[in-house]
Amino acid sequence: MGIPAYWRTRTQRYALVGEVCHKCGAKIFPPRDVCPECTRPASDPFTFSGRGEVYSFSTIYQPPEGFEEFAPYTVALVKLEEGPLVTAQLTDVDPAEVHIGMPVEMVTRKLREEGEDGQIIYGYKFRPLLRNTLTPRPSGQAA
């Protein structure tokens, strides 16, 4: 991914901003401008709570270029509480403790560095939900 592409997707990557369909109410992430449920235009921004649960996960031992320093690392499909699935890394967790259904929350972390002089890419990852310290937020507020 090049610098312009990272810049274009910064809002959704930093804060899980997707869309809501004003026709059928579907919550959409990643944003796509056409509602996948009713195929109407959908461009009203919607900020997801960042809470969800692990739908599936995998620990990667043979990483793509640029992710070698992190291997092994665990990636997941996270089912957000508003409905959509999102693809992301898990963080702050022992891979052996990850299980399907595990409650998780979004955090912002470094995704990769593009060489010594290159950009540092930040984005969402998900960590186990910190039950004791979490203050409930109204749905739709930024995480």
Partner 1 sequence: MRDVSIIGFGQTPVGEHWELSLRHIAAQAVLAAMQDAGIDRADALYVGNMIASETSGQHHLGALVADFVGLRGIEAFRVEAACASGAAALRAGYLAVASGAADLVIVVGLEKMTDAIGNSITTALAEAADADYETPHGLSFVSINALLMRRYMYEFGVRHEDFAGFAITAHQNAVNNPYAMFRRPITKEEFVQARMIADPINLLDSSPVADGAAAVVLCPTDQARSFSEYPVHIRACEVGTDSLALHDRRDPLFLEAAYISVQKAYARAGVTPADIDLFELHDAFTIMAALSLEAAGFARRGEGVRLAMDGAIALNGRIPISTMGGLKGRGHPVGATGVYQVIEVAQQVTGRAGANQVPNARLGMAQNIGGSGATVITTILEA
Nearest distance, CB of residue 2 and partner 1, angstroms: 10
Q: Which listed residue (68, 110, 130, 134) binds partner 1 by CB under 8 A?
A: 68
| Residue 14 interacts with partner 1 (CB under 8 A): yes or no | no
| Residue 91 interacts with partner 1 (CB under 8 A): yes or no | no
| Residue 136 interacts with partner 1 (CB under 8 A): yes or no | no
Beta bridge partners of 119: none
Q: Which long-range contacts (CB under 8 A, 24 or more apart) does 56-59 make?
A: 56/100, 57/90, 57/98, 57/100, 59/95
Q: Which residue has 């899980």 as its token pair?
A: 16
Which residues, other chains included, contact 142 with Cβ-Cβ below 8 Å and sequence gap of 6+?
15, 47
Binding interface with partner 1 (CB under 8 A):
1, 5-6, 9, 13, 30, 32, 36, 55-68, 70, 73, 75-77, 84-89, 95, 100, 111-112, 121, 123
